């Protein structure tokens, strides 16, 4: 039986629209509801307790929309709030950390050779949380993970500087350090970073980039199937965008991170 309830997706802002785009591409018939907490972005500078509180408030809102599962398209919230969210409601909750780490194991299977070292680049908060290290130790403890905070990339991307010399210089500052460690697998641990994949591959053609947005959509398929939640309809699903604040740059950010058409945009207050 087709389950046409929507999939809920949220992020601290609009960077998670890269995850939405990957999910829409893989599941065009699924209905999608996205919440961007644009009034309280960024989460990366907030305490763990605050990130958990925000995430649970957004989860309540999405459950009120009758979603069938929730994708936490925010590395900071995925690092801090998943356990609490999974306790609160009996619906699947998927973060973006585990799919990125799982992709390393998939790469090993494809290559049929051992990967000894890999790197993750992310915001300071995500790196400080140690979430990628913890996930990798559970899944593939033999891989050494080099963690690198790249705090300047998000503001550059949000300014639309995805093909500027300034961004290239900053990328070299961050990634040269990783390349010197003879690391060739890099997990993009922030939903903004997929917009720099082209520049990264051009500057470092020998590296393999692991896009957590794409990997999250891939892992979703198993969850939908196992829980009998897949929408078998052949109709094109709707996309609804909710935000906690309508900002001047909203339309620009929507185009930058999603690139397609969103059916509706609505501001909602979560009672804070």
Same structural domain for residues 171 and 227? no
Same structural domain for residues 157 and 233? no
pTM of the complete model: 0.90
Query: Of 138 and 270, which is predicted with more confidence?
Result: 138
100-152 pLDDT, tens digit each: 999 888 887 766 778 899 999 998 888 988 999 999 999 888 899 999 999 99
Predicted local distance difference test score (pLDDT) of residue 25:
92
Same structural domain for residues 90 and 103? no
Same structural domain for residues 259 and 162? no
Same structural domain for residues 200 and 150? yes
* 16, 74 contact by CB (below 8 A): yes
Average pLDDT of the chain to the nearest whole number: 91
> From CA 258, how far away is CA 8, in angstroms rounded?
16
Query: Of 264 and 98, which is predicted with more confidence?
Result: 98
When mean pLDDT is compared across 111-120, 158-167, 207-216, the lowest value belongs to: 111-120
Q: What is the DSSP secondary structure assignment for residue 258, as one 8-state letter?
A: T
Question: What's the angle, vertex CA 202, arms to CA 199 and CA 208, rounded to 5?
Answer: 90
Predicted local distance difference test score (pLDDT) of residue 57:
96
CA distances in angstroms from 37 to 58, 250, 270, listed in the order given: 8, 12, 10
* 146, 224 contact by CB (below 8 A): no
Q: Is residue 33 included in any domain, yes or no?
A: yes
Q: Hey, what's the torsion of the CAs at 68, 220, 132, 105, to 10 degrees? A: 160
Q: Is residue 2 included in any domain, yes or no?
A: no
The residue length of the chain stands at 272
Cβ-count burial 140-160 (b if 16+ within 10 Å, e if not) = beebebebbbbeebbebbbee
* 188, 210 contact by CB (below 8 A): yes
* 244, 8 contact by CB (below 8 A): no
**CATH number of the structural domain spanning residue 114:** 3.40.50.1860
> Sign of torsion, CA 219 220 221 225?
positive
CA distances in angstroms from 82 to 7, 14, 87, 165, listed in the order given: 16, 19, 9, 37
Predicted local distance difference test score (pLDDT) of residue 235:
86
Question: Does the pLDDT at position 1 exceed 60?
Answer: no
Task: Give the residue numbers annotated as catalytic, written as ranges.
Answer: 74, 190
48-97 pLDDT, tens digit each: 999 999 999 999 999 999 999 999 999 999 999 999 999 999 999 999 99
Domain with 75, as residue range(s), is 7-95+215-267
Predicted local distance difference test score (pLDDT) of residue 271:
67
Instruction: Give the number of domains in the chain.
Output: 2
For 99, phi then psi, to 5°, come to -60, -40
Q: Which percentage of the chain shows pLDDT scores above 70?
A: 98
Q: Helix (H) and strand (E) counts for the chain?
A: 12, 10
> From CA 97, how far away is CA 100, in angstroms rounded?
5
Same structural domain for residues 197 and 111? yes
């Amino acid at each position: 039986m087709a389950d046409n309830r929507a999939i809920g997706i949220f992020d601290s802002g609009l960077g998670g629209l890269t995850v939405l785009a990957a999910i829409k591409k893989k599941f065009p018939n699924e209905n999608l509801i996205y919440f961007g907490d644009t009034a309280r972005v960024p989460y990366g500078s907030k305490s763990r307790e605050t990130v958990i509180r925000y995430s649970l408030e957004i989860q309540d809102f999405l459950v009120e929309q009758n979603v069938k599962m929730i994708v936490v398209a925010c590395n900071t919230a995925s690092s801090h709030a998943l356990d609490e969210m999974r306790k609160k409601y009996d619906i699947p909750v998927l973060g973006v950390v585990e799919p990125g780490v799982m992709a390393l194991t998939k790469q090993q299977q494809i290559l049929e050779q051992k990967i000894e070292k890999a790197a993750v680049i992310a915001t300071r908060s995500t790196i400080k949380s140690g979430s990628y290290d913890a996930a990798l130790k559970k899944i593939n403890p033999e891989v050494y993970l080099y963690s690198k905070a790249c705090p300047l990339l998000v503001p550059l991307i949000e300014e639309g500087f995805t093909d500027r010399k300034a961004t290239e210089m900053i990328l070299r500052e961050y990634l040269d350090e990783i390349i010197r460690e003879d690391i060739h697998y890099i997990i993009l641990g922030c939903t903004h970073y997929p917009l720099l994949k082209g520049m990264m591959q051009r500057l470092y053609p020998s590296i393999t980039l692991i896009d957590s947005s794409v990997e999250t959509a891939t892992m979703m398929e198993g969850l939908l199937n196992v829980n009998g939640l897949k929408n078998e309809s052949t109709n094109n699903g709707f996309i609804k965008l909710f935000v906690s604040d309508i900002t001047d740059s909203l339309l620009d950010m929507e185009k930058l991170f999603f690139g397609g058409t969103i059916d509706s945009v609505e501001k909602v207050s979560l009672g804070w």
